[in-house]
A and B are shown apart, each in its own frame.
Chain A
Amino acid sequence: MRKSSIFSRKVLAVPYAVFLLLFVVVPLVLIIVYAFTDSDGGFTINNFTSFFSEAHNINTLLISVLIGFLNTFICLLIGYPVAMLLAKKELGFGKATVLLFVMPMWINFVLRTAATRDLLFNIGLNGGEHPYIATMIGMVYNYLPFVILPLYTTMTKLDKSLLEASYDLGANKVQTFVRTLLPMTMPGIISASTMVFMPTMSSFVISDVMGERKISLIGNSIQLYFDQGLWHMGSLVALIMLVLMSVTAFFDDSGEENARGGLW
């Protein structure tokens, strides 16, 4: 059977390659070019130095990392047990229950956040007086489904007999959890973390709505610069965030391994 040349692998890859080039590579190059040029088009590192010479910019950077980390941590803390319960076949939670947890994702997130804002106001936790707490609640609420889903998928796939083996070898519940379940679900944890950490740092709608615009994350400063037509500074901040994100993506490289993860 001769391969038809129209459907050869190379040809099939063309649409995505074009997409990748137009909407990923070109914009990326543009960002880098803009970040290191001034409005006259000449090369400069002034954007870079002026960004890091302002203490408030570094504050924004640190706060973003902090909020991103806290959000990831809290989401994992809440999401992990939920995923464990959902994955337990004996408890009889079907796919429908999982959907119930993921359903908030289906509602437009601006609407969802606006509703959360009103809800928090009514219980006295308004963003005006507690901007950080309100923002954290908004973040956790929005990103929790992104944690539950990958964890649930990893847990349903893993081999239960390994846990039984751990008990058989005399490990107690804590030991079994720390030395068997946790390493085996590590790929899920890592992919969940990257799905939460990166978007949290770059989000600006949630912090604007929930924190009554009193908190500014990196996403906010990028938006402010671009809104005011200062594309060069905006690109530089975007680039800084990009670098930060590639650092976190370093953690993700074990995602390729299968569910046995770091067990042996």
Chain B
Amino acid sequence: MKKFISVLICCLLLLAVMPGALAEEEILRVYNWQDYIDEGKDDDGAIIDKSVIQLWEEDFYGRTGRKVRVQYDTFETNETMLNTFKTGKTSYDLACPSDYVIQKMIAATKDGTDETIALEKYDLSKMENYQKYVSPYIANMFENHGWTEYAVGYMWGTVGILYNPENVKKEDVKTWDIFWNTDYKNRSTCKDVSRDAYVIGALHAYSDDLENLVGLYEKGEMKAEELQKAVNDVANDTRDVTIEMVKKELAEMKKNIYGFEVDTGKTDIVSGKIDANLAWSGDAVYAMDLAEEEDNKKLEFVIPKEGSTVWFDGWIMPTGANTELAQDFVDFLCRPDIAARNMNYIGYTSVIAGDNIYDMVCDNYGVEDGKLERDVTYFFKGTLSEDKYNKDGRIIIKTNDTDRQLFAQYPSEDETARLGIMEDFGDRNEKVLEMWSSVKSNEMSATTYVLMAVVLLILAVLLLFGIRNKQKRNKRRRRR
């Protein structure tokens, strides 16, 4: 009897579990940068909260009653991601590449040259949160470049110089020339990324012209859009003459800087190995936080006066993607409270505005009775509730320090006027790369050549000896 009851209970339990197990589970495949979503972990990697991915799964189940599992993979560079698509072995519903890759993909979609990286279009009417909370600044940029249909922004930032004000004079760092300035020989590092280095070289080569234009803008004789376009043109100028100029500039820069880096810059400036570092704004914020915690050091970030570039990462849906699920997931990420969580976790600036984001930024880096005002109207306009606006309709965040985290996260409107966008170099990319690998290759001095000659001589002698000995040996062996 006992046995019968236990069997019965088992059967009942099984029945209770069955529907869940039998119902077909849908899968959403997401391909994102490493550490680029709130995984609910603390600094030591211990799980302290539900991850944003889990939250979406639950939220979607609550709204539709459908069970979806997110298959989440990560990549380390844009090129890795692109190669994954090009080999066509794995497919995804969503991926999060950077600006220039998105441009490349959109171009391939439009002219049909490469089907492996073609994209699906978004139906923005189904994306309420994005429509409501995306910053007007970002929405505008997307619209102007024709990306709106194909991509939804995620994080964005600028390229500038992170520096230690104790050892670097403020006026020196206000120009890209700091990397060429012999007062700071071996005290700065540049990114080992061909595209970023190229832009810096081009902006430095045309710095006089650009400074004139910025002067005109400041006097009110030039519109922001015109200046933006001028900077953009210089940053994306890949004519042969310019490539040749940039090559000379960068070769000279290489002699003056401490070195190139991709990930050590942040920690090197905190530990004091270097005093200035070409940095993405998000990394700069991270380094500033770190320096404050570890050494009580105050680092600063500046966008040089010649102008710079703005970058962003965005969500795209490759052809064949499950657009319904993908759009729902992206729109969930655009919910301001979720965007705030991600922004807080990653340290980069979200493209989403809204009360949650504004409050979080004020909390983190604002000072309630601060003497300075950062005007962020251009970014938050139209997304905040009434009480966040000043009487004159502006949106400001009060602070006491210039050029710190807040300034890095949100450039001023005047600064955005001199921010170009790095475009896809297209078929000029190989030329630029050739230039870059030539810059990266080694300077050959006379001593190196002498040394090389000596080495080759030794090698030749050794080889000769080897052959002769062997012949002798063979002869002797034959005799034996």
Interface residues of A (CB under 8 A from B): 54, 56-57, 59-60, 62-63, 65-66, 69-70, 121, 126-129, 131, 211-216, 220-221, 224, 227-230, 251, 254, 262, 264
Taking CB as reference atom, which chain A residue is nearest B191?
A: A213
Residues of A near B448 (CB, < 8 A) are: 63, 66
Task: Give bound CA distance, A213 to B254, whole Å.
Answer: 10
Knowing A69-B455, A229-B86, the reply to whether A56 touches B260 (Cβ < 8 A) is no
- Taking the closest CB of chain B, its distance from the CB of A242, in whole angstroms, is 19
**B259 x A59 contact (CB < 8 A):** no
Residues of A near B451 (CB, < 8 A) are: 66
Is B186 in contact with chain A by the CB < 8 A criterion? yes
* Contact count band on B: 35 or more
The proximity string for B residues 413-447 relative to A, scoring 1 for CB distances below 8 Å and 0 otherwise, is: 00000000000000001100110111011101000
Is B452 in contact with chain A by the CB < 8 A criterion? yes
Task: Give bound CA distance, A211 to B82, whole Å.
Answer: 29
Contact of B186 among A57, A63, A128, A230 (CB under 8 A): A128
Contact of B430 among A59, A66, A230 (CB under 8 A): A230
Knowing A214-B254, A251-B466, the reply to whether A60 touches B261 (Cβ < 8 A) is no
Taking CB as reference atom, which chain A residue is nearest B273?
A: A121
Residues of A near B257 (CB, < 8 A) are: 128
Interface residues of B (CB under 8 A from A): 77, 79, 82-83, 86, 186, 189, 192, 194, 254, 257-261, 273, 429-430, 433-434, 436-438, 440-442, 444, 448, 451-452, 455, 459, 466, 469-470, 473, 476
**A216 x B437 contact (CB < 8 A):** yes
**A224 x B259 contact (CB < 8 A):** no
Residues of A near B86 (CB, < 8 A) are: 229
- Taking the closest CB of chain B, its distance from the CB of A63, in whole angstroms, is 5
Cross-chain pair count, CB within 8 angstroms:
81
Task: Give bound CA distance, A213 to B192, whole Å.
Answer: 8
**B433 x A224 contact (CB < 8 A):** yes
Knowing A69-B459, A230-B433, A251-B466, the reply to whether A129 touches B442 (Cβ < 8 A) is no
Knowing A221-B437, A228-B79, the reply to whether A215 touches B442 (Cβ < 8 A) is yes
- Taking the closest CB of chain A, its distance from the CB of B11, in whole angstroms, is 46
Task: Give bound CA distance, A228 to B261, whole Å.
Answer: 17
Contact of B442 among A60, A224, A264 (CB under 8 A): A60
User: Apart from A69-B459, A126-B258, what are 13 other A-B pairs with CB-CB below 8 Å?
Assistant: A66-B455, A121-B273, A126-B273, A211-B259, A212-B260, A212-B261, A213-B261, A214-B254, A215-B442, A216-B440, A224-B437, A230-B433, A264-B476
Task: Give bound CA distance, A119 to B52, whole Å.
Answer: 41
Residues of B near A224 (CB, < 8 A) are: 433, 436-437, 440
Residues of B near A214 (CB, < 8 A) are: 254, 259-260, 440
Residues of B near A66 (CB, < 8 A) are: 448, 451-452, 455
Task: Give bound CA distance, A211 to B448, whole Å.
Answer: 16
Residues of B near A60 (CB, < 8 A) are: 441-442
**A212 x B77 contact (CB < 8 A):** no
Taking CB as reference atom, which chain A residue is nearest B192?
A: A213
Residues of B near A56 (CB, < 8 A) are: 437-438, 441
Contact of A213 among B260, B273, B444 (CB under 8 A): B260
**B273 x A129 contact (CB < 8 A):** no
Task: Give bound CA distance, A101 to B143, whole Å.
Answer: 63
Knowing A57-B441, A128-B259, A230-B430, the reply to whether A262 touches B473 (Cβ < 8 A) is yes
- Taking the closest CB of chain A, its distance from the CB of B402, in whole angstroms, is 29
5 nearest A-B residue pairs (beta carbon): A212-B259, A128-B258, A213-B260, A56-B441, A56-B438
**A-B contact list, 25 entries, CB within 8 Å:** A54-B438, A56-B437, A56-B441, A59-B441, A59-B442, A62-B444, A63-B444, A65-B455, A66-B448, A66-B451, A66-B455, A126-B186, A128-B257, A128-B258, A128-B259, A131-B259, A212-B189, A212-B259, A215-B442, A216-B442, A221-B441, A227-B77, A228-B433, A251-B466, A254-B470
